[in-house]
Amino acid sequence: MVDLSDNKFLERITLAALKNGYPVLYPPPLIWDRINSTIIKRSWERVRGCVRKDPESNKICLYIHIPYCDSRCIYCNCTSYSRNNSIPLKNYLVALKTEIDSLSILTRGIKFSSLYIGGGTPTLLTNHQLKDLILYIKQNFLFGGATVFALDAHPNSLDLDKLNLLKKLGLTRLTIGVESLDKNVLRMSARKQTPDAVYQAVSLARTVGIPYLNIDLMAGLPGQTLKSFSRSLLKVISLNPDIIHINPFIPDDQTLFSEKGRRLTHDDIIKRARMIKLKNKTMKNFGQFKNIGRAPSTQTEAAINQQINLFESPEFKTSILGLGYGAISYAFGNLCYKHTGTLKDYCDRRGLFNGYPMTDDEEMRFYAIKFIRQGLNKNLFKKLFGKDFGLIFKTEVSCLKTHTACQDNNDLIRPFFKNKKEFYLFSKVFYSKKALALLEKQCFNRREDKLKKINIDAYLDET
């Protein structure tokens, strides 16, 4: 039996999860197994019943993935292919519509709380394709009046016409991937973008009146110095976005950087940690921004109040219907899954899926892992699950307390993880026995030698 106080074991699980590209996703995709479309169908029918019965507690979000980009940046671990891929984008959009047809039937009659189109680069679509896709989504799914509609964009693929179109179609939050404003860093990352394209995209988004603007930056990119990171951050702050999200560069196996056999050096890792610290220090000087949740993002009060980050809200039992190749779906209390196979399999409608059944127990564990770092509200937990957190997770909490300083009172439990590494390691005490046994059986015997060679710090930031 697995000993949760065994740090070595927790470290092995963490490494396997990081290498796989999903450091905190629970249950880890490493242990997902082949499932069929009948199980998926039944799961969504049950979710529909729950959302209908109790719409105050049960929320459902729609995520659409567009796995195409102009070209691939070396640091990126998203599921995405170059637009010159042998399977043209237009063929993908036809397959996506077929998937929309079949899944929208299962969720008929219920209101989705949010729509998020991510990628890849959704703005790579022509205006005609974008309009056609968004209208098709809106015809097939029901959205409430206050629906959040978010979309990811590359600055090069934004112009006045596209932004006007998106505004007209109801876009409420635009994320512009900026990553860096340093030409040298952009070149070394194989990212085709100029600082001027960023300034223009931001200015146009403001002109057309997109309500919330999010800018993504990265820390620790090849060639990036503290000075260049700081310059990019200050410039982005001066553009006055509603949200600034800083992603540390974590070279998991999905990145071109790792595929080319490159590794971060010890100095690179230290430098990246310094950038994150510098960001925290810098943001404190700008009163309009506030750190939120577990993500390294900083938002204005107005943006937080709009609950634009519904996926991360601890108030609801949230299901996510993910459509498109690369999307992950959560049918709350039933199933998590994603497409497996290749992009061609997806476009040929082969219907290949990997997944993991979710019970109430697994949902509580998922919830604990998701919210423990920011401080888990025991009253909300009880309201959602009808269970006392302290009683259900007595062993896990005691284990957590042996590893970390932990605030624990009637309302709140909050372990003070010294850094992300501690969070990744010790949040794993909430893994179920089933998940741990599968991890042991399926992963470690085969991978142990490889895992031994990994420097865990290369996969982590020190926030």
Residues at the site binding ligand SF4, with contacts judged by CB under 6 A: 69, 72-73, 76, 78, 80, 119-121, 154, 177, 191
* Minimum distance of ligand SF4 from residue 69's CB (angstroms): 3
For ligand SF4, the closer of residues 190 and 278 by Cβ is 190
For ligand SF4, the closer of residues 187 and 418 by Cβ is 187
**Which has the closest alpha carbon to 176: 250, 257, 240, 83?**
240
Neighbouring residues of 138: CB distance < 8 A, sequence distance ≥ 6: 169
* Minimum distance of ligand SF4 from residue 228's CB (angstroms): 18
* Minimum distance of ligand SF4 from residue 154's CB (angstroms): 5
* Minimum distance of ligand SF4 from residue 229's CB (angstroms): 17
Cα separation, 10 vs 147, in Å, equals 39
Question: Which residues lie across from 357 on neighbouring strands?
Answer: 335
Q: Which two tokens stand for residue 156?
A: 């090069």
Q: First and final CA of the chain: distance in angstroms? A: 32
The answer to whether the bond into 27 is cis (omega within 30° of 0) is yes
For ligand SF4, the closer of residues 275 and 331 by Cβ is 275
Cα separation, 227 vs 287, in Å, equals 22
For ligand SF4, the closer of residues 76 and 397 by Cβ is 76
* Minimum distance of ligand SF4 from residue 83's CB (angstroms): 10
Question: Which residues lie across from 353 on neighbouring strands?
Answer: 35, 339
* Minimum distance of ligand SF4 from residue 272's CB (angstroms): 17
For ligand SF4, the closer of residues 78 and 243 by Cβ is 78
Contact 321, 116 (CB under 8 A): no
For ligand SF4, the closer of residues 346 and 381 by Cβ is 346
For ligand SF4, the closer of residues 120 and 296 by Cβ is 120
For ligand SF4, the closer of residues 326 and 333 by Cβ is 326
* Minimum distance of ligand SF4 from residue 192's CB (angstroms): 9
Which residue's structure tokens are 């997902």?
A: 32
Cα separation, 154 vs 5, in Å, equals 44
For ligand SF4, the closer of residues 120 and 248 by Cβ is 120
Neighbouring residues of 108: CB distance < 8 A, sequence distance ≥ 6: 48, 142
Cα separation, 333 vs 353, in Å, equals 18
Neighbours of 245 (CB within 10 A): 18
Cα separation, 39 vs 237, in Å, equals 47
* Minimum distance of ligand SF4 from residue 322's CB (angstroms): 16
* Minimum distance of ligand SF4 from residue 120's CB (angstroms): 5
- Burial of residue 43 (number of CB atoms within 10 Å: 0-12, 13-18, 19+): buried
Neighbours of 40 (CB within 10 A): 21
Sheet architecture: strand order including 405-408: 376-377, 412-416, 405-408
